[in-house]
Structure 1
Amino acid sequence: MKSNDYLEEKPADIDELDEKILKLITKNARIPFLEVARECGVSGAAIHQRVQRLLNIGVVHGSEFVVSPQKLGYNTCAYMGIYLDKAKYHTQVAEALRNIPEVVECHYTTGPYAIFVKIQTKTNKHLKRLIDEQLQDIEGIARTETFMSLEMDFKRQVPIK
């Protein structure tokens, strides 16, 4: 770990045009740059340069298609709080969790849990089997608490000023 890993990251220097571009491309990642240019009143080349700059400075990253878990049969969504035997186990536990495809998010947290994960499984029985046969066997995990999501009401990105 580098010595500056604990420093808070400063917000990127973006202007009103960058904000307008971000609002448009986060609503529709497939919007053509020429359409963004028309909406912003600038050239397509200017949009291309601005988006490239936003990528380079890390304001945006990647472009991906988001798969609907339910359409692939993953109908059970659960969240799990993980207690560790010792805090020093957090890295090795996270690595072990990374090897379980159904664990789709992993967060180091404050509060009662050292780690909090999101799990997508096909059924409740699939979730139980995953907990019994994989998660509980990870060295360093003392115990877990699992919460079932009944339904996601909304999910969104952070607001752009």
Structure 2
Amino acid sequence: MIENLQPDGSLDSFDRKILEELGQNGRISVAELAEKVGLSKTPCQNRFKRLIAEGFIQGFKAILNPSKMNLDHIAFAEVKLTHTHEAALTSFNNAVKKIREVEECHMIAGRFDYLLKIRTRDIKKYRLVLGERISNLPYVANTSTNVAMETVKESG
């Protein structure tokens, strides 16, 4: 199956087209995918399986509608830690993963250490999550919050 890779190990144009189509519609049938990328079904299916096996495709998930679930409030919390040694980072990373309301957590190079995207039903619920859960994470020195007024573009 390695023949689909360029000499330098990168993906070829068919692989990139497959990934692009799947990024737009993960539920597309193999037959429709093959047609869109210009391959017959069997070679397309083989490439699809290889892309999964090689880790280019990590999985598939349902994209939920936050408004239907009454989760319209989005806040971004900047988190500064007291220490940034490896044990502190690992401890924080493990703990933040357990907070359901935290949709994303990114380590940042800059004036703070982490940026968290937090989705709740309203500002009151956000205050509880911030005060009782995020502020009590290991090594948190302080936080600063930015509230989204409108979502213009979001992945998914």
TM-score band w.r.t. shorter chain: 0.7 to 0.9
Following TM superposition, by how much is the alpha carbon of 1:23 offset from its aligned partner in structure 2, in angstroms?
A: 2.4
Structure 2, unpaired ranges of 5+: 1-7
Aligned residue pairs, count: 147
Aligned equivalent of 1:86: 83
Shift of the 40–75 alpha-carbon distance from structure 1 to 2, 3 Å rule, reads closer
Question: Any idea what the Cα deviations from partners look like across 1:71-109, whole Å, max 9, x if unmatched?
Answer: 111111011111001112221112221121101111111
Distance 2:138 2:36 in 1: 54
- The alignment's TM-score, normalised by the length of structure 1, stands at 0.84
Contact 1:90-1:114 within 8 A present in 2 as well = no
Shift of the 135–71 alpha-carbon distance from structure 1 to 2, 3 Å rule, reads same
Aligned equivalent of 1:139: 138
Structure 1, unpaired ranges of 5+: 1-10
Question: Any idea what the Cα deviations from partners look like across 1:112-159, whole Å, max 9, x if unmatched?
Answer: 1111111011110000111112222223100001110111101348xx
- The alignment's TM-score, normalised by the length of structure 2, stands at 0.86
Q: Spell out the pairing of 1:103-142 with structure 2 (5 A cutoff).
A: 103-142=102-141
For the aligned residue pairs, the C-alpha RMSD in angstroms reads 1.7
- Report percent identity of matched pairs: 27
Q: Which amino acid aligns with 1:93?
A: F
Q: Find 1:30's aligned residue among 18, 27, 31.
A: 27
Distance 2:9 2:129 in 1: 40
Aligned equivalent of 2:5: none
